Amino acid sequence: MKGRNYLLILLLVAISITALTGCSKSTASGQDIFEKVEEQGYIIMGLDDTFAPMGFRDNDGNLVGFDIDLAREVFKRIGFEVKFQPIDWSMKETELNSGNIDLIWNGYSITEERMKKVNFTEPYLKNRQIIITLADSDINSKADLKDKKVAVQNGSSTLDAIYKEPDIVETFQGGEPVLFDTNHEALMDLEAGRVDAVVSDEVLARYYISQKNPDDYKILDEDFGEEEYGIGVRKSDKELLDLLNSTLDEMRKDGSYEAIYEKWFGESN
């Protein structure tokens, strides 16, 4: 009886090992991106499809947005088929480096921390960290934020930006910002009157305000600095990086970048 049990276990172990290895295929890391695209027929662009207006879905579920239009044009010129893969934003670098996606392109701010993990293209969009209040607020400058409740998205580049000016953060009520998971939540709290100001990406905030009543909000002239959006690729994909850079350059020169910009952000760059 005992012997039979041993056999059974050995069999189970053997089956599970073959089952596991049977499903496995070698990971894409280490493989040249051009070979990979040739083999699978497309390049995979990772994006957070909840991120309006850079990349999101319309009512019919189609991916739309500034980054989507830009990427479609860039890859049309390069001659790659592009497949859009929704990912969770917190997993983006893991997705890239494990080869599940080939590039990150979705309002991806260039920061020093991220530069250690990925290679960025030249910036293709500038983005200020603006301060938003309700229209009737008495806040008109950074100094007026003293003893006020200021909301910021947690884990965002905005948070890094405001801490570059720690003297101002210290004057906030409580000595630190109120943190929200998304900019959307921060702005809803502003509307509800529970916070006095929100610091946020200009791109996101302007989209939010344009969807609401623009007259209800005020954007201060002062800001918490500028950041830039870039496209992230694996450190090993140098050739792809050059190709993306030169294609974006070309699009700036022939005005097609401008056309896409105006479609999504109205005013000219």
Question: Residue 24 interacts with other proteins (CB under 8 A)?
Answer: yes
Q: How far is CA 57 from the centre of its chain?
A: 15
Contact status, residue 169 vs residue 20, Cβ threshold 8 Å = no
**Residues within window 166-185 making contact with other proteins, judged by CB under 8 A:** 182, 184
Q: Counting contacts by CB under 8 A, is residue 85 touching other proteins? A: yes
How many beta carbons lie within 10 A of that of residue 175, not counting itself?
A: 9
In the list 36, 44, 45, 51, the residue contacting other proteins (rule: CB under 8 A) is 51
Confirm or reject binding of residue 16 to other proteins (CB under 8 A).
Answer: no
CA nearest neighbour of 47 among 82, 12, 4: 82
| 215 makes contact with other proteins (CB under 8 A) | no
**Per rule CB under 8 A, is residue 267 in the interface with other proteins?**
no
Figure out which of the listed residues 43, 49, 71, 160 binds other proteins, where binding follows CB under 8 A: 49
What is the C-alpha separation between 53 and 69, in angstroms, rounded? 11
Q: Is 192 in the site for other proteins (CB under 8 A)?
A: no
- Sign of torsion over alpha carbons 118, 124, 130, 134: negative
116: contact with other proteins by CB under 8 A: no
- Considering the complex, what minimum distance in angstroms separates the CB of residue 73 from other proteins? 22
Near other proteins by CB under 8 A: residue from 35, 81, 88, 250: 88
Is 56 among the residues that bind other proteins (CB under 8 A)?
A: yes
Q: Locate all alpha helices (DSSP H) within 79-227, ordered by sequence.
A: 92-97, 112-115, 157-162, 166-171, 183-191, 202-211
User: 73, 78, 91, 218: which one contacts other proteins (CB under 8 A)?
Assistant: 91
Residue of 74, 87, 169, 178 that binds other proteins (CB under 8 A): 87
- Residues binding other proteins: number (CB under 8 A): 37
**CA 200 and chain centroid, separation:** 14
- C-alpha span between 251 and 256 (Å, rounded): 5
Q: Which two tokens stand for residue 174?
A: 């409580």
Q: Kind of pairing, strands 232-233 and 125-134?
A: unpaired
Of the candidate residues 75, 80, 172, 208, the single one contacting other proteins (CB under 8 A): 208
Q: Under the rule (CB under 8 A), what is the footprint of other proteins? A: 2, 5, 9, 20-21, 23-27, 46, 49-52, 56-61, 85-88, 90-91, 94-95, 98-99, 182, 184, 188, 208, 211-212
